[in-house]
A and B are shown apart, each in its own frame.
Chain A
Amino acid sequence: MHDVKTDVAPLDSAWSGGAPPFAMGSKKLGMWLFLVSDTLTFSALLIVYSYSRITNPDWPKPFPMYPAIVFSTTMTVVLLASSLTMVMGVMAAQRNDRKATVKWMIATMVGGLAFMGLHLREWFHLIEEGCTITHNPWGTPQFGAVFFGITGMHMTHVLIGVIYLGIVATGYGRGKFSAEDVEVNGLYWHFVDLVWMFVFPLIYLMSVKY
Chain B
Amino acid sequence: MHTHALAEQAHAGATVKANLYIWFGLIAITGLEVFLAYEELPPTVMLTMLMGLSLLKAFMIMSYFMHLKFEKFTLVLWLVPSMIFCIGMMMIFFYPEAYRLLQLRPH
User: Using a CB–CB distance below 8 Å, which chain A residues touch chain B?
Assistant: 19-25, 27-28, 32, 36, 39-40, 43-44, 47-48, 50-57, 59, 69, 73, 76-77, 80-81, 83-84, 86-88, 90-91, 94, 178-180, 183, 186-187, 190-191, 193-194, 197-198, 200-202, 204-206, 208, 210
Given contacts A179-B4, A208-B38, contact A47 B54 (CB under 8 A): no
B interface SS class: helix
Give the complex CA separation of A44 and B79 in angstroms. Answer: 18
- Nearest 10 pairs of A and B residues by beta carbon: A51-B98, A205-B37, A201-B50, A25-B3, A55-B102, A197-B57, A190-B65, A180-B3, A22-B75, A55-B101
Shortest C-beta distance, A69 to chain B (Å), equals 7
Interface residues in B50-107 (C-beta closer than 8 Å to A): 50-51, 53-54, 57-58, 61-62, 65-66, 71-72, 74-75, 78-79, 82-83, 86-87, 90-91, 94-95, 97-99, 101-102, 105
A interface SS class: helix
Q: How many residues of B contact A (CB 8 A)?
A: 57
What are 23 A-B contacts defined by CB distance under 8 Å?
A: A21-B74, A22-B72, A22-B75, A23-B6, A23-B72, A24-B75, A36-B83, A40-B86, A47-B94, A50-B47, A51-B95, A53-B43, A54-B43, A56-B101, A73-B30, A77-B27, A80-B27, A84-B65, A94-B8, A180-B3, A180-B7, A198-B58, A206-B50
Shortest C-beta distance, A68 to chain B (Å), equals 11
A40 lies within 8 A of B83 (CB):
yes
Give the complex CA separation of A5 and B102 in angstroms. Answer: 69
A179 lies within 8 A of B7 (CB):
yes
Shortest C-beta distance, B32 to chain A (Å), equals 11
Give the complex CA separation of A191 and B20 in angstroms. Answer: 18
Give the complex CA separation of A69 and B4 in angstroms. Answer: 43
A24 lies within 8 A of B101 (CB):
no
What residue in chain B is nearest A27 (Cβ atoms)? B3
Give the complex CA separation of A48 and B75 in angstroms. Answer: 29
B33-55 vs A, CB cutoff 8 Å, 1 = contact: the mask equals 11011101001101100110110
